[in-house]
Chain A
């Protein structure tokens, strides 16, 4: 099990997801990304998008993962609520499920421009729990 949260950062907003594995932490931080726009509970997982990223380290993999979601949200006007992530050997394979934006039902607050390198980190704490985080430019 994991959890996600937002943290304040000047004009923008930070997203953080924590869980027992990097893959699960990436799923949680993706939920935090959706929650910047709308309540994830309002998003029905009816459409599916497959995402693949490859990065030299977990930090860049997180940057690519969140920016891939931002891309699909923007280009296909989708919101996501359900994520399955598998990270192995510097590669991420994921399925994100959601639905097209419905302005009346989702009441989207703001458009996310991109995930940034600011406070970007994927770290394991002393208790073995993984946290993935960064600041989003909105």
Chain B
């Protein structure tokens, strides 16, 4: 991206003043190196978002921002329904409520390395991953509705995990306002056999160890200590969420002229929050969020059972579960006035600061855990929300490293088998049904997650608590 077109406003904050159709400025959080690597299309996409009706204050890009459909990945924007604000299917993305959940164990790195191959095989057997895999559950229409309104609470009531898990999930494991009637038959059919599946692409279940405690004061209440084993699950609402995205994007594209919306890019398709279509999408999106929360809850229990077959006594209580593709209704202070906003975070993680009432009580004093996924073979991070985050970005931070290379380029540069062998030599075991999939997800095809989280911290969006390194990665 051409830095000269931006006005620097602080060490890691860059501003594009409104021009043309833009209603508010566009703001990027990055350092010069990240900006230089950032696709120029991010700038264009952010300016497009800044032109949507009812946007409040600015359109924001996180340090890991890259090109996305309509909104950039790493894009954050809040809309006020009372000022004609919109909800955008493209602002949430196809993988609704994709997110990360981390489980805490009482095992050490040494406990796992002693049984690493057996554990990797057991997890690979227990976790349905990759194209064509199916879960154990087959949902009737009534059960599907119960899942779509109940989320992780529904999964717990069906024997997957315990009620103690729910307190450490965003929204207590179940978001209100889900409308199963807004979910198409196709979306239901796609999900029927996919409950408790990981999916493919960049989704994974990873056994990690705490390689570095960066903020000891926060790590202790988070339950993190050096050398400890943590399990992180990265996946979303599976076929149901993808189909909801497909269905509503189409409907919003067709309906746009009736709302007087002129879209510079069809992927920006949106509807006024107060319109029947906007409300129906929000109901469907929340149902898809519940589907994602239920899915991660089922995977959690499958993972615990697999661990116990190898390491009896494994507990795996939740650190936290947070989505990074979602639109949430939140109250934020805007120049001293509390306003109810619809905050879109697409490839961006909510990061409430210390004391926020929506952070689980046990963690509240330190701020919300922000779980940053790595890319097969690279580090992951646990961050915490800051007191400054609300004024900067509606309490939002980055979500991962972000790709720097296409899948096609990656398969030309790496072979799956070679990557699996190289990572094994470094003590990281990969289990995947697809070697081509492994090549497409090569760690070298992603940007440096270290740099992204360092800049997120310098910008005041979140602060680093711990760095996690992988031991076993189950990929789709």
Contact = CB atoms under 8 A, between A and B. Distances in A.
Contacts of B243: 71, 114
Contact of A116 (B134, B190, B193, B267): B267
A70 to B, nearest CB: 8
Interface string B398-436: 000001001111000000000000000000000001111
B69 to A, nearest CB: 5
Given A110-B200, A110-B440, A117-B253, A75 B186 contact: yes
Interface stretch (A3-11, A22-30, A87-95, A124-132): A3-11
A64 B249 CA distance: 12
A51 interface: no
A117 B249 contact: yes
B459 to A, nearest CB: 24
A60 interface: yes
Contacts of B194: 74
A87 to B, nearest CB: 18
Contacts of B403: 10-11
A108 B130 CA distance: 8
A10 B39 contact: yes
Interface in B361-413: 403, 406-409
Contact of B192 (A60, A63, A75, A107): A75
A103 B433 contact: yes
B440 A60 contact: no
Nearest to A73: B131
Contacts of A74: 190, 194, 239, 242
A12 interface: yes
Given A60-B250, A109-B434, A116 B69 contact: yes
Contact of A114 (B94, B132, B436): B94
A114 B245 contact: yes
A8 B250 contact: no
Contacts of B130: 103, 108, 111
Contacts of B249: 116-117
B85 interface: no
A118 B399 CA distance: 23
A8 B186 contact: no
B281 interface: no
Nearest to B90: A117
A20 interface: no
A56 B132 contact: no
A111 B200 contact: yes
Given A10-B39, A75-B186, A138 B434 contact: no
Nearest to B66: A10
Nearest to A6: B408
B189 interface: yes
B355 interface: no
Interface residues of B, number: 44
Interface in B260-295: 265-267, 269
A128 to B, nearest CB: 27
B217 to A, nearest CB: 36
A37 interface: yes
A6 B440 CA distance: 15
Contacts of A9: 406
A113 B95 contact: yes
A17 B269 CA distance: 26
A85 interface: no
B134 A56 contact: no
Contacts of B196: none
B407 A103 contact: no
A111 B199 contact: yes
A21 B7 CA distance: 50
Best-surrounded residue of A13, A70, A74 (most CB of chain B within 10 A)? A74
B44 interface: no
B94 A101 contact: no
Nearest to B246: A114
A75 B190 contact: yes
Nearest to B476: A111
B407 A138 contact: yes
A108 B250 contact: no
A37 B67 CA distance: 23
A93 B193 CA distance: 28
Contacts of B223: none
Contacts of A44: none
B201 interface: yes
A71 B185 CA distance: 11
A77 B250 CA distance: 24
23 contacts: A11-B406, A13-B408, A56-B254, A60-B250, A60-B253, A64-B250, A70-B242, A71-B186, A107-B434, A108-B434, A109-B436, A110-B131, A110-B407, A111-B200, A113-B95, A114-B242, A116-B69, A116-B249, A116-B267, A117-B249, A117-B269, A137-B69, A138-B407
The 8 closest A-B pairs by CB, nearest first: A101-B132, A109-B436, A117-B266, A108-B131, A8-B406, A113-B242, A111-B200, A11-B403
Given A13-B406, A107-B435, A108-B433, 9 more contacts: A11-B66, A74-B239, A77-B193, A108-B131, A113-B94, A114-B243, A114-B245, A115-B246, A137-B69
